[in-house]
């Protein structure tokens, strides 16, 4: 574990369902967490509640301020808010690791794969943030409410990124939150995981499943 990976982590969009679940798991794992939100007040309220639960200080601030203070910035906002949010934090994440969780769902047809012309939301994130930001993507397939509950989640977290070191830091970070994270390859490969979300939503509806997920099979040994 490098020093970088144990720095403060900002969760931009940390008052949303996915962001809140991630902030909670990170705080429980002993990380220093700053919850970001469009309005600092909401973030501070969420942080206060989480602080009480975990028994250590969790901060809250505007998305930009949270990103500025952190070494690793997790972005958990809906697709429609992705571009705006990334523009908002762009200046504060240069040289840092950004873990983007955006799934390019296009309502109302969320059960239909509709990947952007750029290929994936992760590639869009890299373009917006610029080449000095080490973009990693993850958390596309896990249901937020399962992540929000305690205990094991029956879903692997595929992690994508062009910078291997940043990807490894993300894999370790996610692993320390009680989840199985796997390297999935370059950022372009994020398309697979992003597309799969629509398939899982389709399966949820067709088979009446509450939060279908995926597991990679094949006697996998995870290098330590």
Is 203 a residue that touches a second copy (CB under 8 A)? yes
Judged by CB under 8 A, the stretch of 32-40, 62-70, 126-134, 211-219 that binds a second copy is 211-219
CB of 134 to a second copy, least distance (A): 18
Is 221 a residue that touches a second copy (CB under 8 A)? yes
Is 210 a residue that touches a second copy (CB under 8 A)? yes
Is 112 a residue that touches a second copy (CB under 8 A)? yes
Nearest to 38 by CA among 12, 72, 69: 12
CB nearer to a second copy: pick between 6 and 113: 113
- How many residues bind a second copy (CB under 8 A)? The answer is 45
Candidate list 119, 144, 172, 180; residue touching a second copy; CB under 8 A:
119
Tell me if 153 sits within 8 A of 213, measured CB to CB.
yes
147 contacts: CB under 8 Å, gap ≥ 6: 18, 21, 22, 25, 139, 153
Q: Which residue has the tokens 């943030």?
A: 129
Q: Alpha carbon 2 to chain centroid distance?
A: 20
CB of 166 to a second copy, least distance (A): 15
Candidate list 55, 108, 151, 223; residue touching a second copy; CB under 8 A:
223
| DSSP for 56-123, written as a single string | S--EEEEHHHHHHH-SEEEE---HHHHHHHHHHHGGG-TTSEEEE------TT-TTS----TTS-HHH
Judged by CB under 8 A, the stretch of 23-31, 49-57, 85-93, 196-204 that binds a second copy is 196-204
Nearest to 103 by CA among 127, 121, 128: 121
Candidate list 78, 175, 178, 211; residue touching a second copy; CB under 8 A:
211
Is 181 a residue that touches a second copy (CB under 8 A)? no
Pairing of strands 134-137, 157-161: antiparallel
Summarize as ranges the residues that interact with a second copy (CB under 8 A).
Answer: 111-115, 119, 154-155, 158, 182-186, 188-189, 191-193, 195-196, 198-200, 202-204, 206-223
């Amino acid at each position: 574990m490098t020093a970088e990976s144990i720095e403060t982590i900002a969760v931009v969009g940390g008052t949303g369902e996915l962001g809140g679940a991630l902030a909670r798991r990170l705080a429980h794992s002993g990380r220093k967490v700053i919850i970001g939100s469009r309005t600092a007040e909401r973030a501070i309220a969420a942080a206060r509640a989480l602080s009480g639960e975990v028994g250590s200080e969790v901060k809250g601030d505007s998305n930009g301020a949270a990103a500025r203070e952190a070494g690793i910035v997790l972005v958990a906002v809906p697709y429609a808010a992705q571009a705006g949010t990334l523009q908002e934090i762009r200046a504060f994440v240069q040289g840092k690791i950004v873990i983007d969780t955006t799934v390019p769902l296009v309502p109302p047809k969320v059960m239909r794969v509709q990947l952007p012309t750029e290929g994936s939301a992760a590639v869009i994130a890299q373009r917006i943030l610029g080449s000095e930001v080490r973009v990693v993507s993850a958390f596309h397939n896990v249901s937020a409410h399962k992540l929000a509950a305690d205990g094991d989640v029956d879903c692997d977290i595929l992690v994508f990124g062009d910078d291997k070191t940043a990807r490894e830091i993300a894999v370790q970070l996610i692993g320390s939150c009680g989840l199985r994270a796997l390297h999935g390859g370059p950022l372009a490969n994020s398309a697979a995981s992003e597309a799969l979300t629509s398939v899982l939503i389709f399966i949820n509806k067709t088979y009446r499943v509450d939060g279908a997920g995926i597991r990679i099979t094949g006697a996998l040994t995870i290098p330590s």
